[in-house]
Amino acid sequence: MNILVVRNDKLGDFITALPTLYVLKHHNRANRIIALVAPMNRTLAESCDFIDEVIVDSGEDILELAYKIKQANIDASITLFSNTRVALAQWIARIPIRIAPATKIAQLFYNRRITQRRSEVKMGEFEYNLQLAKALFPEISLDFPKPLLAFEGAAEVYESFCAAQRITKPVVAFHPGFGGSSDANWTLKEYIELVKIAEVDQTVDVVMTFGPDEEKLYNEAKGYLAESRVVLYRSAGSVVDFATLLSCFKLFISTSTGTYHLASAVGCETFTFFGDSRFASALRWKSIGEESKQHHFMIPLEPEGRAAMFESVKLALKNRLSSGF
């Protein structure tokens, strides 16, 4: 069976789709799994051995998208996050079985509409995604390995990174950027305070990571850490290159955005900051990695609550560092 799985939004959202793609492939190895993804996620999708084909949604008009989909000879589709454009394109492409959550006008173009009420946040986003696989195969196992992602040559990549950056100890990494759909974070000064707590610990090396478009943030951090032993690293390669490196880090500290999901998916322990609301909560956006390796902190909006939470994060970081890696 040729199965299309649609998750054509941001990096973190796509990572929440990976378990669904995995279980569909492993339910029957004869299944051909096709992923419809945003351009930014193409490289990551193509690196997954449980995805057989990748269709990139480049924002073309509905008829062009429908043509792309029709060329793949799809038997069934599971749309994990829908809008009218992708729904109508699948209808035009005449996919026989079209599964999606029963939400918004887009649901009119699907012939298997599943009521989920994700706004109630009774489970994580990736778990809601997995539930849709049961609409196609009721008996499917929803189990998947943790970590789900692994990359060949990771040890060699990490060895080269350490040699270039003069790193000799386990790495604790901080990623201060917002990015994605995150709506809660610490200021750069607050991150620097956390960084300096880690820097004091002589059993680890500390790295701050920045995306290729975060030059301003990188330069600001460089100013704060001019006399520091902290490594400032600007990622210039692909998402897969960064994921390969993350798989060798010991702890990754960031807001709830795509890089957090990536770190957890490759098995790195995480400290993650979430908005203090149901929509942005850790319950909804927990990652696909081992839950025991995920440490979640909800940042309140009011100043007093925010200050108290920051003190809790500092204490938790000190305790985690003292326990060793």
Under 8 Å between Cβ of 42 and 56:
yes
The residues near 226 (Cβ < 8 Å, ≥ 6 apart) are: none
Percent of the chain exceeding pLDDT 70 equals 98
Under 8 Å between Cβ of 28 and 58:
no
Where are the domains positioned within the chain? 2-133, 154-322
Q: Do domains 2-133 and 154-322 have the same CATH topology?
A: yes
Q: What are the pLDDT digits (tens) for 195-246?
A: 999 999 999 999 999 998 999 999 999 999 988 999 999 998 999 999 999 9
pLDDT at residue 157, rounded to an integer: 96
Superfamily of domain 154-322: Glycogen Phosphorylase B; (3.40.50.2000)
**Encoded tokens for 236:** 């210039």
Instruction: Spell out a b/e string for 175-211, using b for 16 or more CB atoms within 10 Å of the CB, else e.
Output: bbbebbbbbbbbebeebbebbebbbebeebbbbbbbb
Q: How many helices (H) and strands (E) does the chain have?
A: 13, 12
Superfamily of domain 2-133: Glycogen Phosphorylase B; (3.40.50.2000)
Tell me the pTM. 0.95
Under 8 Å between Cβ of 82 and 100:
yes
Helix (H, G, I), strand (E, B) or coil at 205: strand
